[in-house]
């Protein structure tokens, strides 16, 4: 999932029964679903219960009118930068490099067909 797509995810886009999150038309001009693992679903449910997000899955600042705003790509960059400093890494880490870490799953025994299917999963609505 691209960072701008993550920022746009609304609570209503989550389907825990089907284990998917809906990503509306963006890059590529097609609606698609991204699979959610059982572990991620458990974490998201705990996050939702604890943080009680409104509207968007990940909220950032609140407007002057008191309305919650969704997380921004600048917010994601800030989160990555802050956490990189906490682990003491001098490597350049971006949201895009995190997307590419899936390729390392091959090193841990995930077969290439499963990985390709996972990365290419674009299901029209």
Q: What's residue 125's pLDDT? A: 29
- Look at residue 90 and tell me if it is in a domain: yes
Tell me how far apart the alpha carbons of residues 55 and 12 are, in angstroms, rounded to a whole number: 8
Phi then psi dihedrals of residue 65, to 5 deg: -85, 0
**Residue 94 banded pLDDT, cuts 50, 70, 90:** confident
Digit-coded pLDDT (tens) for 22-54: 988 766 678 888 888 888 888 899 999 998 998
- Please tell me the pTM assigned to this model: 0.69
Q: What's residue 18's pLDDT? A: 95
124 pLDDT above the threshold of 50? no
Q: What's residue 20's pLDDT? A: 93
- Tell me what the pLDDT averaged over the chain comes to: 79
Domain that holds residue 107: 3-119
- Look at residue 94 and tell me if it is in a domain: yes
Q: What's residue 48's pLDDT? A: 93
**Residue 110 banded pLDDT, cuts 50, 70, 90:** low
CATH number, residue 63: 1.10.443.10
Left if phi > 0, otherwise alpha if psi is -120 to 50, otherwise beta: which for 30? beta
Q: How many domains does the chain divide into?
A: 1
Digit-coded pLDDT (tens) for 6-15: 889 999 999 9
Q: In whole angstroms, what separates CA 25 from the centre of its chain?
A: 16
């Amino acid at each position: 999932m691209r960072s701008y797509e993550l920022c746009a995810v609304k609570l209503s886009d989550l389907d825990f029964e089907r284990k998917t999150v809906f990503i509306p038309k963006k890059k590529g001009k097609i609606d698609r679903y991204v699979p959610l693992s059982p572990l991620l679903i458990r974490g998201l449910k705990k996050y939702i219960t604890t943080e009680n997000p409104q509207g968007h899955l990940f909220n950032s600042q609140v407007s002057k009118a008191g309305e919650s705003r969704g997380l921004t790509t600048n917010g994601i960059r800030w989160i990555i930068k802050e956490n990189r400093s906490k682990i003491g890494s001098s490597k350049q880490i971006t949201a895009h490099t995190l997307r590419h870490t899936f390729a390392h799953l091959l090193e841990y025994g995930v077969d290439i067909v499963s990985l390709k299917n996972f990365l290419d999963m674009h299901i029209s609505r």
